[in-house]
Amino acid sequence: MNYHQVFNDEVFPLSDKLYRFSLSIVRKNDIAEDVVQEILIKVWEKREDWKNWRNMDAMLFTMTKNLSLDKLKNKNNQLYTIPEGYDTESDSAGPVQRVISRDVERIIDKAIATLNEVQRMVIHLRDVEGYTYQEIADKTDLTMAQVKVNLHRGRLELRKKLQNQL
C-alpha cells in the first residue's frame, strides 16, 4: 500500500470536515485544532493498521469524536458541559457570506450549547455536512436508531428555545 498516497488522498483532505466536526463537540477553536492535528499524526503513525480498517472515513470521524469528548471531559471534569458559546468574535472564523445576522447567530449558538454532545454532533453531521443517517451512524459509532433519536430530541429542543427568542 502506498501510505503517502492514501494519506494525502483520503485522510489529509478531510482535515477541514474533521475540524468542524470536532468544533461542534468541543466548541473551542484551539481545542478542535489540537484534536485534528493529533488525529492526523495518530492516524499516520498507525499506517500499518490501515489495511484492517473497514471504513477509513468512519474511523477518522470516530477517532475525532472520541478524542474531542476526552478533551471536553478533561477540561471541565464533567461529562456533559454547557460551554458559554464559541470563542470571542475576533477569534471565531466568520463565514464568507452572511445569511443570518450576528445577533441571531449568537442566539442560535447559545441554544446549541445547551444540547448535549451527542445531539450536537449528529445535528452537525446531518444539518451542516449533509451525511445520511447510515453514514452518521458509522462515523459516530452509534446505531441508526440512536442517531435518529438524538437528532429528533436535539431539533425539538432547538425549536423550543428558538421559538421563545426569535
Residues forming the site for other proteins (CB under 8 A): 2-5, 7-8, 12, 15-16, 19-20, 23, 29, 33, 36-37, 40-41, 44-45, 93-100, 104-105, 107-108, 124, 127-130, 132-133, 147-149, 151-152, 155-156, 158-159, 162-163, 166
Angstrom distances, CA of residue 30 to CA of 1, 20, 22, 35, 42: 33, 12, 11, 9, 18
Cβ at position 142, least distance to other proteins in Å? 13
Cβ at position 70, least distance to other proteins in Å? 18
- Residue closer to other proteins, measured from CB, 27 or 79: 27
- Residue closer to other proteins, measured from CB, 75 or 159: 159
By three-state DSSP, how is residue 89 classified?
Answer: coil
- Residue closer to other proteins, measured from CB, 56 or 162: 162
Residue burial 120-156, b: 16+ Cβ < 10 Å; e: rest: bbbbbbbeeeebebebbbbbbebeeeebbebbebbbe
